[in-house]
Structure 1
Amino acid sequence: MIVIKKKVKFRAHGLHVAAILNIPKYAEEKKQNPAIVCVHPGSSCKEQTAGIYAEKLAERGYVTIVFDASYQGESEGEPHYAEYPAARVEDIRCAVDYLTTLEYVDENRIGVLGVCAGGGYAVNAAMTERRIKAVGTVVGINIGRGYRGEGDPIKMLEAVAQQRTAEARGAEPMVTQWIPNSHAEREESGMTDIDLVGAVDYYRTPRGQNPNSPNKLKFTSVDSVIGFDAFHLAESLLTQPLQIIVGGVQGAYGSYKDSHELYNRAASDKKDLLIIEGASHYDLYDRPEPVSKAVEKLGAFYQENL
């Protein structure tokens, strides 16, 4: 199906959020079209993996919207490069707001799909955003768990506290990076885990590199990430139909573990966990065969539940 792509903006907590709206041909002439909000990973942008899924789902007849998180990419927000979980979740709510203003979208047939950390944010938003009727995750992770499991989180929080004080007194904002900037830098740091290799290969090479994803992270926003639990209250509030997709190859990011945890904790009585054997975390970002399998499963899931 032919897809019409439109650059749009919507408002979220006082900011303009930059988005791409994918509209199946003839959708604007019809009523009652289902729609899906697609949420990108931490450090990512709308043109990368979430945008791939958004376009492929639009080819299956869904109106989709994918956006740069506020404070990131082409969206507004200062300090830029900040990762604020509360803002990320509110971005999703506001994307739903925007979809409800489109006359060709059925407000009762809106779903969400998140990739990697975007999966955790999508889950968290859906728990209290009842306009979201179906929830999908691809290699979803609970980003706060990841940060709490890396090194000494208390030591990192102490460093954030010191940096906040320095910046309050006029120091330059500290901007660090999410991952090594090259394979050479990664190898020098002794990082050999398949997910870390995949991260550098996807984000820092022509495979997936994009100027709206510059590998920059406002250091003082890490405190809010460490304190965030994307799955908090899933046992009681996550009641929508849930489709979880993860690769069978396990790595440091823990999407395999987190996907199983989410499946076990979710209150939904209609949930499914698909493991794509032989696929790693980053294979499900853009590799044709794993992505095709994921999209096929997601298409059937949303068709049944939206």
Structure 2
Amino acid sequence: MKKSFKKTLLAGLFISTLFLGANAMAADYRQNPFTLTYDGAITENVQGKVNIQPVKYQLNGLTIAANVYTPANFDPSKKYPAIVVAHPNGGVKEQVAGLYAQKLAEQGYITIAADASYQGASGGEPRQTDKPFNRINDIHGMVDFLEGYQGVDTSRIGALGICGGGGYTFATAQSDKRIKSVATVSLFNTGLVRRNGMNDSAVATIQERLKQASEARTLESKGDVQYSANADLTKITDEQIAQMPAGLYREGFEYYGKTHFHPNSTPRYTTSSLLDLMTWDATDQAELIDQPLLMIAGSAADTRYMTEQAFAKATGTKNKELVLIDGASHIETYWKPEYVKQISEKLTGFFGKNL
């Protein structure tokens, strides 16, 4: 029972990850002035091309760290459609969120990818607090920031969420009608999985885990912060990765620990966060989404069912489309060139019609 419980907790954050099949860095953050980890990342701001601007802003008393991408030949006196991009659980803005933010900027959008509150380079204590309210408010906050950013057409702001960020974006769009169209890639319903486990594999331990989270809250109130999925990615060996079950676990360690490693990215989260996560579900008010909706998932993804469930519950919009990327796993949608190309084209077409 305890071994199964640990696997479930560890799985929770690694379900937003990838497998390259080789341990070489895809793009070494140490070689990029903006510490970006993805292939084709901007290495310098060049006039007439897509540029990146690191920014900081205040949200509920916390300092949020973000990157804003502006289109080629950006003219602040003109108006551009804009898109907020929410990163996966355990991820940071320099990884897949930055990849798709840059891809969309190349198509003429102003985009922003921000580190979640309590995570990455953003402020907040205890570190790696991971609660739905915070993650949803982070997306509201990105919209707030774009509304005051030079060149943004505030009547044309869209949202893209990836993995856990997809579930939180799906939830945010239920209420925030400043978001005119919403897209998700490999949506991960964090509350559902923290509660039930992947494919309901941990339903039998719900009460046990809630008790552990409650005990962790008591310890945290006394200054002793407890963490779940508390693995040190810098110490995971190739042999350990090879022994993991094929799929999400192995791909997660490969992506975050090897091929797209960033020191601000970590799988851990405060155990007390489960008190909020396990009583929340991204689809609870799905019918409130009345904006155009695009949902993308890999046909071979273990998490595909979450996208399909959310899509079915989004009954408030008639303008919706579910796209399955043939052969892609959850994590391959983060990096594999042919899949990224397909997804980027779908996103460009969707936002082009609906912003």
Could you tell me the TM-score, scaled by structure 2's length? Answer: 0.80
User: How much has 1:233 moved relative to structure 2?
Assistant: 1.1
2:274 is the alignment partner of 1:222? yes
Question: For 1:198, what is the secondary structure of its paired residue?
Answer: helix
Q: Which amino acid aligns with 2:257?
A: R
Q: 2-side partners of 1:25 and 1:186: how far apart?
A: 41
Correspondence for 1:198: 251
> CA 1:284 to 1:229, structure 2 compared with 1: closer, same or farther past 3 Å?
same
Q: 1-side partners of 2:253 and 2:116: how far apart?
A: 21
Question: For 2:75, what is the secondary structure of its paired residue?
Answer: helix
Q: 2-side partners of 1:79 and 1:184: how far apart?
A: 32
2:281 is the alignment partner of 1:233? no
Question: For 2:125, what is the secondary structure of its paired residue?
Answer: coil
Contiguous gaps of at least 5 residues in structure 1: none
Select 1:8's aligned residue among 44, 47, 55: 55
Deviations 1:65-93, CA, capped at 9 Å, x for gaps? 00100000100001111111101100111
Question: For 1:137, what is the secondary structure of its paired residue?
Answer: strand
Select 2:217's aligned residue among 164, 170, 174: 164
2:328 is the alignment partner of 1:279? yes
Q: Which amino acid aligns with 2:150?
A: E
Correspondence for 1:22: 69
Question: For 2:321, what is the secondary structure of its paired residue?
Answer: strand
Question: For 1:246, what is the secondary structure of its paired residue?
Answer: strand
Q: Which amino acid aligns with 2:336?
A: R
Indicate if the aligned counterparts of 2:242 and 2:250 stay in contact, CA closer than 8 A. Answer: no
> CA 1:167 to 1:260, structure 2 compared with 1: closer, same or farther past 3 Å?
closer
Higher RCO, 1 vs 2 (CA within 8 Å, ≥6 residues apart): 2
Question: For 1:144, what is the secondary structure of its paired residue?
Answer: helix
Correspondence for 2:348: 299
Q: 2-side partners of 1:143 and 1:16: how far apart?
A: 24
Q: 1-side partners of 2:294 and 2:245: how far apart?
A: 30
Q: Which amino acid aligns with 1:264?
A: A
Q: 2-side partners of 1:250 and 1:98: how far apart?
A: 33
User: How much has 1:19 moved relative to structure 2?
Assistant: 0.1
> CA 1:179 to 1:127, structure 2 compared with 1: closer, same or farther past 3 Å?
farther
Q: 2-side partners of 1:277 and 1:16: how far apart?
A: 40
Select 2:107's aligned residue among 55, 60, 64: 60
1:91-130, aligned counterparts within 5 Å? 91-130=138-177
Please provide the CA RMSD for this pair: 1.6
Please identify runs of 4+ aligned residues in structure 1 that moved more than 6 A.
Answer: none
Indicate if the aligned counterparts of 1:174 and 1:218 stay in contact, CA closer than 8 A. Answer: yes
Indicate if the aligned counterparts of 1:27 and 1:33 stay in contact, CA closer than 8 A. Answer: no
Indicate if the aligned counterparts of 1:10 and 1:94 stay in contact, CA closer than 8 A. Answer: no
Q: 2-side partners of 1:219 and 1:209: how far apart?
A: 23
Question: For 1:204, what is the secondary structure of its paired residue?
Answer: helix
User: How much has 1:174 moved relative to structure 2?
Assistant: 1.5
> CA 1:263 to 1:176, structure 2 compared with 1: closer, same or farther past 3 Å?
closer
Indicate if the aligned counterparts of 2:49 and 2:73 stay in contact, CA closer than 8 A. Answer: no
Select 1:262's aligned residue among 307, 310, 314: 310
Q: 2-side partners of 1:71 and 1:167: how far apart?
A: 15
Indicate if the aligned counterparts of 1:179 and 1:199 stay in contact, CA closer than 8 A. Answer: no
Correspondence for 1:243: 294
Deviations 1:131-174, CA, capped at 9 Å, x for gaps? 0000000001211111112221221110011122223344x212
Select 1:31's aligned residue among 54, 78, 81: 78
- Farther-moved stretch of structure 1 (32-41 vs 212-221): 212-221
Correspondence for 2:91: 44
Aligned length: 298
Q: 2-side partners of 1:265 and 1:66: how far apart?
A: 27
Q: 2-side partners of 1:141 and 1:215: how far apart?
A: 15
Indicate if the aligned counterparts of 1:179 and 1:200 stay in contact, CA closer than 8 A. Answer: no
> CA 1:44 to 1:178, structure 2 compared with 1: closer, same or farther past 3 Å?
farther
- Farther-moved stretch of structure 1 (219-228 vs 242-251): 219-228
Correspondence for 1:71: 118
Q: 2-side partners of 1:284 and 1:63: how far apart?
A: 22
Correspondence for 1:212: 264
